Structure 1
Amino acid sequence: MEGFNMWKRLLSFILTITLIFGMTVTTFAASGDINIFVNGKEISNDAYVNEEGKVMVPLRQRAEELGYIVTWDNVEKRVTISNEYNTIHLKIGESSVIKNDKNINMDTKSIIKDGKTFVPIELFSNTLNLILGLDDKHQVLNINQFTNNQEEFFKVSNDTEMTAKLNEYMKALEKNENFHGSILIAKEGSILLNEGYGFANFDQNTLNKTQTKFAIGSVTKQFTAMAIMQLSEKGLIDVNDSLSKYLPDFPNGDLITIHNLLTHSSGLVNFTELMEFYTLSSNNQTPMDILNLVKDKPLIFKPGEKFSYNNTNYLILGMLVEQLSNMSYEDYLQENIFNPINMNNTGISYGKNNGLHDATAYSGYLEVVPIDDEVLLRGAYGAGNMYSTTEDLYRWSEALKTEKLVNKDTMNQIFKEHIDMEGVGSYGYGWMIIDSEVGKIILHGGNTLGFTSSISRVVDLDLTIIVLSNVGYYDTTTLVNTLTSIALGGVHELPEALTEIEIKDADLYDKYIGEYELAPEVICTITREGNRIFAQLTGQEKFEIFPCTEDDFFYKIVDAKITFVKDDGGNVTNLVLHQMGQEISAIKIK
């Protein structure tokens, strides 16, 4: 949601891929001591990593900590773990377990080591139905039980047919397009869909759940805006104040107002578009270190002149929250927003409370690779440093219908259409407001290198859709539109798998070789290597594309397709790039 015309989206796509593959992308493998936390309490570091890279933990200790009774059959070499709901049998040396008479297969066998039974962590995720979060880089394993949702608005909808349709679509998306994440859809105060899909960690075979924590990127902005407006109600700040009132030495601070920051109309340079930001040390940087990268650069436009989405604005607003409240940004949100509305699974990524998301960050599409997202999550601050769950974000959405956090007049200011977003809609304070065929929609998306988020509410129909995914720059716009249509009874098609076909005459590729102009100074270069064909956009690495018809090709590393267009004589004249809901034609120039 951060680009609002064709070229802006295309250039954003180019920048994103460049950043991801220009950084060190490492397949992390846990090694050494792994610090284990069960329900938030640090337990031990007695896990280890086997030769296949699977994290193994001692079964008896972890199961008993979770309230299970563990028994050992020395004759059969079989372990039984049970509570009032489940009975699980597993045999040493086998990769399958029996849960309530149902067989469940795992990727890894249980073993005895140093007199203890060790099992892969996938057993806790997939058999015991616990929430698993593994941070390989920091050697932390979180194991959490589900918490009960006590609020009335978490009641399950009676429309089971609609729930089945929504789940059928998501299951097809999971199977055929490798979707992994969590989805919550609610209508008129009851839940239509609340499910996790795909893997939280592909290497460990652990699953996403309804209470899995994801980094939420720019969805953070609405919380920062709420904090500012709470401080405004207390008389500590006025949206019409100039920035220089709070940062006296800030260049152009007399021209930029708090309102400009809230509405992305400051004219400041966006720090996440500067490559030097990604070279900062993630351990020692402060908000001021990042602000120093941009504060002395000339304004892009006169403050208030127009809308231009910009993370620098909300970096500064987060700093002002700290300055005015005499609290850390993290403590302020916890005390004044999270706690009052029971957002107990929400926090600041890599903050002082050592909060971590559960899902592993990935980049890709049909093929994914783990990505180190720490520099962005630490550096985004008030612009995008939070993690949360779909259920907690639903609590947030429902609270916005009340006066639990601010009064009605302030809420109206937050959702007022303050500035036009280039004809697509308007921006309020931390929210986008769009008039659509189904009525007014308030929404916001978030993208990081390894996570994507979206929260959307059709106001008049009281329809809320929350999407969290542990893959960066996922096309949530198309997904939310489709889920909205399904929830409102619209016609839809199930996602189908992209099937690669065999091109028997690889010389056909020679017709496609050349350069195609997508935009000024943006070239798509098509090359051939033997029986393989590659596409390379300006500033990117080259990526292989795969044929699904003779003229249609798809990427596996990103959700994009290329169609080659021929004239009546069979000569290729241009290509069409399909990506992020856009179709961009490029003329062959060489």
Structure 2
Amino acid sequence: MSLLHRIIGLCLLAIGVFSPSLHAHRNLAASDLDTYFSTLADENRAMFSVAFYEDNHVTYSKQFGVDNGRLSGDSTVNLVTDATQYKVGSITKVYTAALVFQLIEDELLSLETPLAQFFPQIHNADVISIDDLLSHRSGIADYTDDPQFEEYRYHFQTKAQMISRLAELPSTHRPGKMFDYSNSNYLLLGYIVERVTEKPFEVVLREKITRPLGLRSTRFCGNHQDCEMIARSYDYVGKEWLAKAEWSMSVVHGTGGIIASPSDQVRFIAGLFNGEIISEHSLRRMIGGQDGYTRGIFEENIVGKLGYGHKGRIEGYHCYLVHFPKRDISLAIHANGLSIELDDIIESAVRIYFGMSYDLHEVMPSHFHLNLDEAEPYLGMYHSDKSVFGIELRFEHGHLVGHVEGQKPFTLMGNSQQEFVSLASDIKITFDLDENGRIDSSYFNIEQGVWRAVFSKQQSLQ
């Protein structure tokens, strides 16, 4: 058993706070949140930190897991704390959008300013506006979907290199016509912030957001050196947490380059909605868009509660930040390792904290476990006319494991006898039932992002 795996149990002693001034149901919520989150950690479902913010202070904070631990036997393993910083991925877009609106308020930009004023080499730059970039309606293809990204994301890239790559990307639609989420938009906006202010992004972030709000655990991670001393991310493979390869953060910049603690993030988004960062008029523009996505932020409906926030995913990090204006409550969850769906954690946390009707036993995480005999019907080689490679399902270390030629195996965690997921690979596999209520293992449906396919079994493993 690895050193990292052995210390997970110690994480149950992690620091937690809940305001004693809250009402009795809040104290009950604190106890139930502690039980729920402790179970997640104890059963290796997640390594994470969480914070709620209400009444101008952090009302609940809890941390489980390790930050910069390594798997070698003589490594020093550190438990996460309230100040531990995580790569928050696309939540960076909320900060970038706020900085852009500050520039608009200062009359240094407008929503109508054309992209061509800064980067004329981008396709359709003369008819793409700042508003198109903010609202993901530019039609610029997502550079992270480019197959070459899989290679260069691990190596330092100059801004000139990144702009050159963006200039080669095709247009997916006429600018302004439709919503099409693209990381390219906020990569460009981050560069534009630097062009307009004539300052590095990290300096602008510090001067305009982190220093005024007193955020001490928020930084811009522009290269590997800037990213030191943060929580490392992990995949749960077999029965161990294995460290993920680290990207060069030069490839994400204003679209995903911020690192922060949950306590800092809830303070940030509360400040955003309470007029401490941008004006009420600018905030209305941020949250007043169409298609559910506004400008730099999403409208969220979590178990009936209306909020505004953003998810972030990079390497093995899964993060979420949301503000519920009606109750003026903010929530941040940062995971540097997951073996269940983040949405399940978010919904359960909101139910418990808001005092909604819930059965603690029902919200507890529960994987569907298989033994070798039960796993046998699933095992075999599957093929699809939508893929040149087959997927072989094997039973290893108590789990179904998918093997694809030339690729890293992916461990599938069971949500039920029909549904299995790999969070690390963003894969969901579902089996149908036959007329007798048994698993029909002759085929399965697979989802990975927006890709869908049906794989049929060709042979069974002996």
> Fold conserved (TM > 0.5)?
yes
Deviation at 1:560, TM superposition (A): 6.5
Q: Distance in 2 between matches of 1:451 and 1:157?
A: 31
SS in 2 for 1:400: helix
Amino acid at match of 2:290: I
Q: How far apart in 1 are the matches of 2:286 and 2:40?
A: 34
RMSD, aligned α-carbons: 4.0
Partner Cα distance (2:204, 2:20) in 1: 30
Of 265, 268, 271, the residue aligned with 1:399 is: 271
* 8 A contact 1:440–1:458 mirrored in 2: yes
Change (3 A) 1:494 1:548: closer
Range with bigger deviation, 273-282 or 557-566: 557-566
Q: Report the counterpart of residue 196 of structure 1 in structure 2.
A: 63
* 1:217, distance to aligned residue in structure 2 (A): 0.7
Q: Give the corresponding residue for 2:323.
A: 457
**Which of 40, 48, 53 does residue 173 from structure 1 map onto?**
40
Match of 1:515 among 382, 402, 405: 382
Alignment of 1:152-551 (within 5 A): 157-158=22-23, 159-189=26-56, 191-203=58-70, 204-280=76-152, 284-350=156-222, 354=226, 356-364=228-236, 367-375=240-248, 377-416=249-288, 418-420=289-291, 426-435=292-301, 438-471=304-337, 475-488=341-354, 489-492=356-359, 493-496=362-365, 498=367, 500-504=369-373, 508-509=376-377, 512-515=379-382, 517=384, 520-521=386-387, 525-527=391-393, 534-536=401-403, 540-543=407-410
Query: How far does residue 504 in structure 1 lie from its aligned partner after superposition?
Result: 4.5
Distance (Å, rounded) in 1 between the aligned partners of 2:325 and 2:172: 34
Q: Aligned residue for 1:70?
A: none
Closer, same or farther: CA 550–437 of 1 in aligned 2, 3 Å? closer
Could you list the per-position Cα deviations for residues 344-394 of structure 1 after superposition, in whole angstroms to 9, with x for gaps in the alignment? 11111245983535211223365332123232x231000000101111112
Q: Give the Cα separation in 2 of the matches to 1:342 and 1:273.
A: 36
Residues 135-173 of structure 1 deviation map (CA, whole Å, 9 limit, x = unaligned): xxxxxxxxxxx9xx9xxx988634211111111111111
Deviation of 1:588 (Å) = 2.9
Query: Is residue 155–residue 191 contact of structure 1 (8 Å, CA) maintained in 2?
Result: no
Quote how far apart the aligned CAs of 1:446 are: 0.5
Q: 1:173 to 1:232 in 2, by over 3 A?
A: same
Q: Output the CA distance in 2 between the equivalents of 1:214 and 1:247.
A: 31
- Are the equivalent residues in 1 in contact too, given 2:112–2:129 (CA < 8 A)? yes
In structure 2, the gaps of 5 or more residues are 71-75
Partners of 2:256 and 2:445 in 1: how far apart? 33
- C-alpha distance in 1 between matches for 2:155 and 2:426: 33
Q: Percent identity?
A: 20
Specify which structure has the bigger relative contact order, considering alpha-carbon pairs within 8 angstroms and separated by 6 or more residues: 2
Change (3 A) 1:311 1:549: closer
Per-residue Cα deviation, 1:523-571 (whole angstroms, up to 9, x for no partner) = 7633558999643469854446588998776769668675544534876
Matches within 5 A, 1:569-588: 572-575=441-444, 586=454, 588=456
Code of the residue aligned with 1:572 in structure 2: it is S
Instruction: Give the counterpart letter for 1:515 in structure 2.
Output: Y
Query: Cα deviation per residue 1:216-268 (whole Å; 9 max; x = unaligned)?
Result: 11111111111111111111111112111222343311121110100111111
- 8 A contact 2:372–2:395 mirrored in 1: no
- Counterpart-to-counterpart distance in 2, 1:549 and 1:379: 38
Q: Aligned-pair distance for 1:482?
A: 1.9
Q: How many residues align?
A: 440
> Which stretch has the larger CA shift, 487-496 or 527-536?
527-536
C-alpha distance after superposition, 1:167-202 (max 9, x if no partner): 111111112243111001234555442110122244
Structure with bigger helix share is 2
Structure 1 counterpart of 2:319, one-letter code: S
CA distance in 1: counterparts of 2:314 and 2:68, whole angstroms? 17
- SS of residue in 1 equivalent to 2:322: strand
* Contact 2:400–2:413 under 8 Å retained in 1: yes
Question: Given the superposition, is the C-alpha separation of residues 325 and 310 from structure 1 closer, same or farther in structure 2, using an over 3 Å criterion?
Answer: same
Paired position in structure 2 for 1:12: none
The 5 A counterparts of 1:95-174 are 157-158=22-23, 159-174=26-41
Computing the radius of gyration over CA atoms, which structure comes out larger, 1 or 2?
1
Q: Is the 8 A contact 2:46 2:339 kept in 1?
A: no
Distance 1:280 1:556, change over 3 A: closer
Check conservation: 1:452, 1:474, Cα contact below 8 A.
no
* Runs of at least 5 residues in structure 1 that lack an aligned partner in the other structure: 1-51, 55-105, 108-122, 131-145, 421-425
Q: In the TM superposition, what whole-angstrom CA distance separates every residue of 1:80-105 from its partner, at most 9, and x where no partner exists?
A: xxxxxxxxxxxxxxxxxxxxxxxxxx
Tell me how far 1:480 sits from its aligned partner: 1.1
Amino acid at match of 2:444: L
